[in-house]
Amino acid sequence: MFHLDLAKASNKGNQILALKEAKPREVTTRVEIPADSLLVCAIHNVRYDETAVVTSRQDLRRLTNPADHRPRRWFLVDKEWALRNNPGLKKVLR
């Protein structure tokens, strides 16, 4: 799983939502992801937020685990934007 680098440690869902390169998305254990997009989950923790890029079915299962009750918001993010702003992501997506 890869975590997007964003400006602040909190309110990452709102940071992503403010991007023209992102669209909110409802997610279940099955989701279709367009070739030009990445599925990103913003997870609210008490002291900070995480933004996880779903890179495999295992990531999706882990992030949709019903036993994990942390609040989440899902987004489809433009792949080119994500790669430009997070160069390490290229290695993960190979």
Amino acid residing at 43? I
User: Is there a contact between 76 and 41 (Cβ–Cβ < 8 Å)?
Assistant: no
User: Which residues of the chain are under the pLDDT cut of 50?
Assistant: none
Give the residue extent of every domain in the chain.
Answer: 2-93
Q: Which residues pair with 78 in a beta bridge?
A: 37
pLDDT at residue 1, rounded to an integer: 67
pTM value? 0.81
β strands within 36-89, DSSP E: 37-44, 49-53, 72-78
Q: CA-to-CA distance for 88 and 82, rounded, in angstroms?
A: 10
Per-residue pLDDT tens over the stretch 27-47: 866 778 899 999 999 998 887
pLDDT at residue 29, rounded to an integer: 66
HSE-CB at 61 with a 13 A cutoff on CA atoms is 3
pLDDT at residue 72, rounded to an integer: 92
